[in-house]
C-alpha cells in the first residue's frame, strides 16, 4: 500500500476502533467505515467528460446562507433525538460541520497544489435564493465560467436521509471529476428530486454522510473531531485529484491539525444574522 493510502487508512482507523487494520476493511452492505451508509439510489449517469487541465474549484458550505428559514439544514440526531446541545447556538449543526469540512478540503487542496478556494456568504440568512451573494448565485457564475463548484453537505438522519454520495451538476454532461467523487462517496441519480436548486445552477452537491451514529459521534467527540474532519477532507481531495487525472499527492509529512479559518471571497457588507423568514431550500432541503 502506498504511503498516502496508508495515512488515509490510519486516520479512519483512529475514528473507528483505533487500528488501521480495521479501517482498511472494504465497504460492507453499502456502509462505509468512516461516513456510514452510502446512497443506495440507482446511478443513472456516467461521468466521462474531462475537465480542464487545471480548473478552479469553488467549495461552498451547504446552508451557509439559509439559517433560520426553510432549508436551514439538519440539526442532527444528537440534538433532535438525544437532546444534545447544538455545536453553535447561531446555526444548525449541519452548517457547523459543513463549514469546517469545506474549509479543511480547501486548506488541504491548496497545500497539495490544487486551484481551489472557499466562498462564504456575508449573511447567514439571505431570503432570496437568487441574491448575488448566495451560494447559488456565486456557484452558478463560477460554473458558467468553466470552473467546478462543489457544495459540501451532511445528510439528514433516520429515514429522511439517503447517505453519502454525489449529486452531479446539471448544466453539462457529467465529468470525470463527478465520476471520481461518486466513486469515493457513492452516487445519487442525475435528476435527484427532479433537480435540486444547486445542481440546476451548475453546482455539485456532495453529501458526506448522514448526521447520526458513529459519524456524528466522531465529529462531536473533542478527541476525534479534528482527525475525523481531516480524514474526510483527505478523501475529497484525493477524489478531486483523480478526477483531474492527477496521481494523489504524497501524504503530508506533518501531522494534520485543527482546520484554520480561511481567507474567503465574499462581497462586502452585512453581519451574519437576519430575521426569520422562509424561502425554498437552498440545496438538498432534507431536515
Give the whole-number percent of the chain exceeding pLDDT 70. Answer: 77
Contact status, residue 23 vs residue 250, Cβ threshold 8 Å: no
136: confidence class by pLDDT, cuts 50, 70, 90:
very high
> How many Cβ atoms sit within 10 Å of the Cβ of residue 50?
12
CA 167, 170, 174, 176 torsion-angle sign? negative
Contact status, residue 145 vs residue 139, Cβ threshold 8 Å: no
Of 225, 103, 207, 200, the closest CA to residue 164 belongs to 207
What ranges do the domains of the chain cover?
41-243
- As assigned by CATH, the class of the 41-243 domain is alpha beta
Query: Looking up cell 427532479, which residue turns up?
Result: 194
What integer pLDDT is reported at residue 274 of this predicted model?
38
Predicted confidence (pLDDT) at residue 166 exceeds the cutoff of 70: yes
What integer pLDDT is reported at residue 242 of this predicted model?
97
Q: Mean pLDDT score of the chain, rounded to an integer? A: 84
Instruction: Convert the pLDDT of each residue in 77-101 to its tens digit.
Output: 999 999 999 999 999 999 999 999 9
Residues 170-191 have a mean pLDDT of 97
249: confidence class by pLDDT, cuts 50, 70, 90:
confident
Amino acid at each position: 500500500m502506498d504511503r498516502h493510502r496508508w495515512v488515509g487508512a490510519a486516520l479512519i482507523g483512529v475514528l473507528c476502533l483505533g487500528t488501521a487494520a480495521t479501517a482498511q476493511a472494504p465497504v460492507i452492505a453499502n456502509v462505509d467505515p468512516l461516513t456510514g451508509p452510502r446512497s443506495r439510489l440507482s446511478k443513472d449517469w456516467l461521468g466521462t467528460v474531462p475537465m480542464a487541465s487545471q480548473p478552479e474549484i469553488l467549495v461552498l458550505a451547504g446552508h451557509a446562507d439559509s439559517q433560520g428559514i426553510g432549508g436551514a439544514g439538519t440539526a442532527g440526531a444528537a440534538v433532535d433525538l438525544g437532546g444534545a446541545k447544538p455545536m453553535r447556538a447561531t446555526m444548525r449543526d449541519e452548517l457547523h460541520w459543513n463549514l469546517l469540512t469545506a474549509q479543511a478540503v480547501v486548506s488541504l487542496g491548496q497545500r497539495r497544489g490544487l486551484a481551489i478556494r472557499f466562498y462564504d456568504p456575508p449573511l447567514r440568512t439571505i431570503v432570496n435564493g437568487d441574491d448575488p451573494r448566495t451560494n447559488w448565485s456565486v456557484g452558478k457564475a463560477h460554473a458558467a465560467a468553466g470552473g467546478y463548484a462543489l457544495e459540501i453537505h451532511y445528510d439528514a438522519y433516520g429515514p429522511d436521509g439517503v447517505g453519502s454520495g454525489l449529486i452531479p451538476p446539471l448544466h453539462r454532461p457529467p465529468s470525470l471529476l463527478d465520476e471520481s467523487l461518486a466513486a469515493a462517496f457513492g452516487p445519487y441519480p442525475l435528476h435527484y428530486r427532479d433537480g435540486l436548486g444547486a445542481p440546476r445552477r451548475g453546482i455539485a452537491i456532495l453529501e458526506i454522510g448522514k448526521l447520526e451514529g458513529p459519524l456524528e459521534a466522531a465529529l462531536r467527540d473533542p478527541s476525534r473531531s479534528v482527525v475525523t474532519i481531516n480524514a474526510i477532507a483527505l478523501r475529497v481531495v484525493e477524489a478531486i485529484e483523480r478526477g483531474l487525472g492527477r496521481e494523489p499527492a504524497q501524504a503530508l509529512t506533518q501531522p494534520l491539525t485543527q482546520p484554520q479559518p480561511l481567507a474567503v471571497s465574499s462581497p462586502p457588507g452585512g453581519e451574519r444574522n437576519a430575521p426569520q423568514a422562509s424561502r425554498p431550500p437552498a440545496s438538498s432541503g432534507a431536515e
